[in-house]
Structure 1
Amino acid sequence: MENTMDITSQTRSVRDVVYEKLKEAILMGEYKPGFHLNERQLAQQFMISTTPLKEALRHLEQEGLVITRPRVGAFVSNDVMISIEEINLVRSAIEGVAARLAATKIDEDEILQLGQVIKEMELYTKERNSEKVLEMNTQFHKLIRIFAKNNYVCKQIEAIRSFDLGPRNKILSNFDELDRAFHEHHLIYEKIIMRDPDGAENAVRMHIHRSTRFVLDGKQQL
């Protein structure tokens, strides 16, 4: 992260922006387990007061990524790897359910929409355009949630989606991983349009489990 970062001009609340940036730094291994999150230094880095910073740290503590030691300060949790893995287990289960529901409810127009995204994802994968692949990846999963036609499932996925953004950037910056991710997404697509709920759910679960393992193994080698 940069030495200083003026975020006061952001349209979202300062607390939310700081929370997201700290979370990404933790999930991507920039702040390693046990790292002391010095409030004064972080406030200077973000060019903010300590109030929104404290609020962001409390939020991260509730998520298990930060621990606070009385009269000492906040630290990145030593169990952060476990937290990421367990959160992604939950995510794989919920997104698997969304794919299952989509496979039972999808109509012909929706099949065409999903197919168009897969075509663009294939094109950008071949071009090694990680930014566009990420955009199509996001759209692909969003469409599955929409086609599941279940507000409860959508809300649960949205609640944990932020844990995936930083790691997903890491995954899609690896060219070999781009190919693997495309083939996995194509399998998910095939199972959904075949209206195979078991196959769709299993394909999503396997994709998320493997990509999570890729991130965690990479972090452990840093």
Structure 2
Amino acid sequence: MLPAPATGSQDQNGPARLEPLDRFQGSLGQRVYQSLKQAILTLEFRPGDSIRKPEICDRLGVSRSPVADAVARLAADGLVDVIPQAGTFVTRLSMTDIREGAFIREAIEVAAAERVAAQITEDQLRDLRRNLRLQEALVSEGDRRGFMALDAQMHEMMLSFTGFPRLAQVAQTAWLSVDRARQLILPVEGRLQATLEEHRAILAAFEARDPQAARQALQHHLRQLLTYLAPLERAHPELFAAP
């Protein structure tokens, strides 16, 4: 049997957790946006949950204006739906969007992995090894949230090693639906450890400076998402938009 997905605590243990604004940089509106976006991407706000602006104002200690601006940006990202006379709701997961995002992600990352494997430096390998050691520690502690942060950092480093400074930004925009969906599969028994092993295989390909092995390791790693997500869609249809 599949476990319940790793969704937020709003329905069961109180309101969804919002990171304090002092943990982010930029203008007030930018920091409100980042706090809400993180809560949505980590499923602190579940798909379909209501975003109540007065409550957000109270919890973050801000006026209505930066919250309204943040919600408008989240709507443009496709993370919330603003329905007149009804309210603002976190968008449900869309398998169409997820498949599209996964396709874009694979196209970008596989090409990046091949390029990086052919030119990676010892300093870059050292940074990847350090990241992987931290991943191992968090897996042993069962810290999924911390592991996800290091997972994202590893992929961002790999993209930055291509020498193309805008690549990570382009990729991040395309992967919002994918990033949310990935939160659902890590609680599946054995998936955290399996993800770590996939990361080890990617690093091994880089250490061997083998572009073909890097390509295969990345493809295998990225294609696990849809393999695990399909049964979760059947088990928890309330989290997904109708086809």
- Answer whether TM exceeds 0.5 for this pair: yes
TM-score interval w.r.t. the shorter chain?
Answer: 0.7 to 0.9
- Say if 2:104 is the partner of 1:93: no
Q: Tell me the secondary structure at the aligned position of residue 127 of structure 1.
A: helix
Distance 1:188 1:5, change over 3 A: closer
Mean alpha-carbon deviation: is it higher for 190-199 or for 170-179? 170-179
Partner of 1:124: 137
Where is the helix percentage greater, Structure 1 or Structure 2?
Answer: 1
Distance 1:121 1:161, change over 3 A: farther
Q: Which amino acid aligns with 2:137?
A: Y
Measured in 2, the distance between the counterparts of 1:122 and 1:102 equals 21
1:55-204 alignment runs, 5 A limit: 55-80=69-94, 82-118=96-132, 120-121=133-134, 123-124=136-137, 127-128=140-141, 130=143, 133-134=147-148, 136-159=150-173, 176-204=190-218
Distance 1:168 1:97, change over 3 A: same
Q: How far has the Cα of 1:184 moved from its partner?
A: 0.3
Unaligned 5+ residue runs, structure 1? Answer: none
Measured in 2, the distance between the counterparts of 1:112 and 1:11 equals 28
Q: Across the two proteins, how many residue pairs are aligned to each other?
A: 221
Unaligned 5+ residue runs, structure 2? Answer: 1-9
Q: How far has the Cα of 1:180 moved from its partner?
A: 0.3
Aligned residues of 2:114 and 2:215 also touching (Cα < 8 A): yes
Measured in 1, the distance between the counterparts of 2:19 and 2:216 equals 44
Partner of 1:20: 34
Measured in 1, the distance between the counterparts of 2:122 and 2:99 equals 36
Aligned residues of 1:65 and 1:77 also touching (Cα < 8 A): yes
Aligned residues of 1:35 and 1:75 also touching (Cα < 8 A): yes
Q: Which amino acid aligns with 1:148?
A: T
- The one of 46, 71, 79 aligned to 2:60: 46
Aligned residues of 1:87 and 1:160 also touching (Cα < 8 A): yes
Deviations 1:89-109 (A, max 9, x none): 323332222212101211345
Deviations 1:36-63 (A, max 9, x none): 3332333233332221111111111111
Measured in 2, the distance between the counterparts of 1:136 and 1:145 equals 14
Measured in 1, the distance between the counterparts of 2:232 and 2:115 equals 33
Aligned residues of 2:50 and 2:89 also touching (Cα < 8 A): yes
TM-score (norm 2): 0.68
Measured in 2, the distance between the counterparts of 1:194 and 1:5 equals 42
Measured in 2, the distance between the counterparts of 1:162 and 1:78 equals 12
TM-score (norm 1): 0.73
Q: How far has the Cα of 1:23 moved from its partner?
A: 2.7
Q: State the superposition RMSD in angstroms.
A: 3.8
Deviations 1:20-43 (A, max 9, x none): 333333344444444333323332
